[in-house]
Each structure stands twice: as C-alpha cells, then as structure tokens.
Amino acid sequence: MSKNQNPVTQNSGVSTNIILTVAVVVVAVLVIGGVLLFNRSGDSGGGAGSGQPPVAAEVLRKPDSNVLTEAPDGKVTVTEFLDYQCSSCYAYYSQMTKKIENDYAGRITFVTRNYPLQMHPLGQHAARAAEAAALQGKYKEMYHALFDNWTAWATASADELNSDEAKANAEFEKYAQQIGLDVNRFKQDMVSPNVQAKIDRDVADGDAAGVSGTPSIFINGQKFEQGSAQSMAEVDQAFRKQLDQELAK
C-alpha cells in the first residue's frame, strides 16, 4: 500500500469529499491522542521546576545510542523514547520533533531510544528495522523513512493498526533499498540477537528513567511535561521555550 492510499476507501467508490473528511478526522485523532497520551503517561514529577532530580545522562544515552543531530558544545541533550508504530509518536514527529530536529540542528543533541509497547504489534519489528539500518550507518535515514511513510506500514485501516509482518517487511525492504542499504545484510541484521539486545537495553534504560508510555522526552535529564498546553501548537511552543531556556544558561 502506497503512502497516499487509504485502505478503507480504496476501490470503494466513496466520494472525494467523504475521503477528505475522514482524513481530517484521522489526523485530528492522532494529534489529540498525542496530547492526551502525554497527560496519561507523564508521571507527577520530572518536569522543569518539579524539584525532581534529573535522570542520569548515562541512563538516557549510551555510547551506541542513535543520534539525529549533535551539538559540538554538548550543552543541551534531548532524549526521546519512542515506539515507531505509536500513533502519538507519529503525531509528535509530524507536528513537532521533525521540525525541532531541523530548526535546532547543531544547537542540540537529539538522541532517540527504542521503547516498543506490547499494544503495538509491529513496534518491535520497526525498531529492528531502524537498528539494522544503524549497523550500516543509515539510522537517521531509516528513522525518517519509517515515520514519513507511517500510514503505509503501520496502519491496516483508518482506525486499525497493521499486524501483518510480511506487509511491513516489504515496506521496510523498500526503504532499505531507497536509502542505499545492502538489503540482504539488512534482512539478516533485522533478526539478529545483537539487534534485539540493543532494543532490550533501550527498554531497560527507559524503565530506569521512569518511562511508562510513548513518546517520553527528556531535556537535559528532565522529563518534558506539556503542562497546560491543549494543542500540538502549544506543546511545540512549550517545548521550544524549555529548549531556549536551557540553551541560554
């Protein structure tokens, strides 16, 4: 299924207006779901000014952790624990973190860690694809491919997640070819014990950091909390404000 095909409306004869209406509703659900998940999964402390001690840097980042952008001065480090099939992670990526990565490139170090949830049937599978690409030096490219093409592999319909590994594999192998990977090696690495061990270490560190849901984001060890923000635009504003405060110290 291509990125722009809707598995519900394809070949159904549904009018364009209805298709557009459904698409708007789905996007709204994703965005609102991302905000609500932060409310549900955030703990009572860990935010800026909460008085809670920051999570140790060695818990949030290991020497082999994947990095999207790195600041030479190392002054501000953002660490995100994510699940690639999580609709809230996708909403945060499309509405905030992709822009943060670009807008703050060279000013912040942006680390991503795996935290696949059992409720997402392909969360582990996608994490293995990302880590297999990392072994060939193409983590960042696969990270973007997985989220930019999220609907093509992560969803089965407008309101149902995909659980078909064969379908997902076909998509992942396509992305691997597009970003210049050795596809045969990629396929072997996806099922290797070393890749699974890396994911398991990320999850263990997430547990140690108090992560209970995704996305969970830390700025210099302090868990980011959305506070009173009620929209993704307000969450983005609050996040940038905290980044700017840390950069100004």
How many Cβ atoms from other residues are within 10 Å of residue 120's Cβ? 21
Beta strands per DSSP E along the chain: 66-69, 77-82, 109-114, 155-157, 160-161, 216-219, 222-223
Q: What is the pLDDT of residue 9?
A: 28
Q: Which residues of the chain have pLDDT under 70?
A: 1-51
Whole-number pLDDT of residue 121: 98
Cβ contact 189:135 at 8 Å = yes
Number of H helices, E strands in the chain: 11, 7
Nearest of 159, 165, 146 to residue 6 by alpha carbon? 159
Give the residue among 135, 79, 90, 87 at the shortest CA–CA distance from 112. 79
pLDDT of residue 227: 86
What is the pLDDT at residue 154? 98
Question: What pLDDT does residue 6 have?
Answer: 31
d(CA 142, CA 126): 10
Q: Is the peptide bond before 121 cis (omega within 30 degrees of 0)?
A: no
Taking only the tens place, the pLDDT of each residue in 41-64 is 333 333 344 557 999 999 999 999
What is the residue-wise DSSP string for 59-114?
HH--TT-EEEE--TT---EEEEEE-TT-HHHHHHIIIIIHHHHHHTBTTBEEEEEE
At 121-148, the pLDDT tens digits run: 999 999 999 999 999 999 999 999 999 9
What pLDDT is attached to residue 51?
Answer: 57
DSSP class of residue 231 equals S
Model pLDDT, residue 158: 87
The pLDDT of residue 69: 97
Rg (CA), the chain: 18
CA-wise closest residue to 159 among 167, 151, 170 = 151
Domains of the chain by start residue, with CATH: 16-248 (3.40.30.10)
